Amino acid sequence: MEVSFYDHAAVQKRATQLIGSWEEDKLFIRLKFYESSLWHRVESDPIVEHSTKIAQRDFWVKFSHFKHQLSDNYDSNREYETLICEYLKSMGVPEDEHPAVVDNLFRVVEAAVSPVDAVVVFVWDAIYRVGDGHEPYRPNGIPASRSSIQGLEQVTLDTDTSLSCAICLEDFEQEPTTRLPCRHHFHVHCIVQCLEINHTCPLCRYPMPTEED
């Protein structure tokens, strides 16, 4: 039993050695495309997740110009929309996913107050499986409540700590991370994606609050 879907997120975060500049008015943007699988034998089991990065594009934009374009009318955004869509197409992201990805990126840049931290955009080509994967299936897990997702605790790991996110398998790089009440750590964008599908921790099944609680 399985279902395929695409998901995407954009965040502004500190990227090691890729720091923007107020003086040079430069904002670094990174696009990342993953193939992901979420699997468990039965729905009561913990979810086993695996992600493989299949493409990445890095580029710089003039921060003040981008911000000005976003504050202007929609037509003036076309040059950035075209640029981003060209990158997404070259990475293999389906064209019908481009508008949502661009919208996520625009929202983050519009809210940004500084070009120092990079904007990172994630696109997942995901497959969700239950059992042996032979029958069509649409996940019916109960999502975590919006308030519990928005209230996730953010922490900064010690510089001597070498850990990686159990969902995307990438290092935390001394960046702020999210810690669930069960004390498991994840990247914000990774765990939000999971909690919007199912309200339990991917590692230990600790239940987060739901709208039904």
Smallest CA-to-CA distance from 45 within 213, 202, 211, 207 is with 202
pTM score of the predicted model: 0.61
| pLDDT on residue 135 | 44
Local structure of residue 32 (DSSP, 8 states): E
Q: Last residue of a domain, which of 84, 112, 139? A: 139
Joined together, the tokens standing for residue 189 give: 């964008």
Q: What is the pLDDT along the chain (213 residues), one digit of tens a residue?
A: 667 888 888 888 766 556 666 678 899 999 999 888 776 665 555 556 677 888 999 999 999 989 888 877 655 567 889 999 999 999 999 999 999 999 999 999 999 988 888 898 989 888 877 665 444 444 456 889 989 988 888 877 665 555 677 777 677 765 668 888 888 888 888 888 888 888 888 777 788 898 876
C-beta of residue 184 within 8 angstroms of C-beta of residue 201: yes
**What is the distance of C-alpha 64 from the center of its chain?**
25
Query: What is the identity of the amino acid at 95?
Result: E
Give φ, ψ of 97 to 5 degrees.
Answer: -90, -15
Quote the number of domains for the chain: 2
Q: From CA 16, how far away is CA 118, in angstroms rounded? A: 9
3-state secondary structure of 64: helix
| DSSP H helices in the chain | 63-71, 78-91, 98-111, 146-150, 188-195
On whether both 123 and 175 belong to a single domain, the answer is no
3-state secondary structure of 200: strand
pLDDT at residue 106, as a whole number: 92
What are 164's strand-pairing partners? 171
Find the largest Cα–Cα distance for the chain: 56
60 and 145 fall within a common domain: no
Q: What's the distance, Cα to Cα, between the start and end of the chain in Å?
A: 29
What is the secondary structure of 45-63 as a DSSP string? SPPEEEEEEEEEEEEEEEH
The CA-based angle 125-131-134, given to 5 degrees, is: 75
Write the single-letter amino acid at 181.
Answer: P
Contact 130, 42 (CB under 8 A): yes
In this structure, are 37 and 117 located in the same domain? yes
User: Looking at the structure, do residues 23 and 117 belong to the same domain, yes or no?
Assistant: yes
Same domain? For 190 and 117 the reply is no
Whether residues 133 and 166 fall in one domain: no
Q: Which two tokens stand for residue 139?
A: 């996940």
Q: Supply the range of the domain harboring residue 192.
A: 141-213
Contact 70, 108 (CB under 8 A): no
The CATH number covering residue 209 comes to 3.30.40.10
Q: What pLDDT is attached to residue 96?
A: 94
The span from the CA of 26 to the CA of 60, in Å, is 6
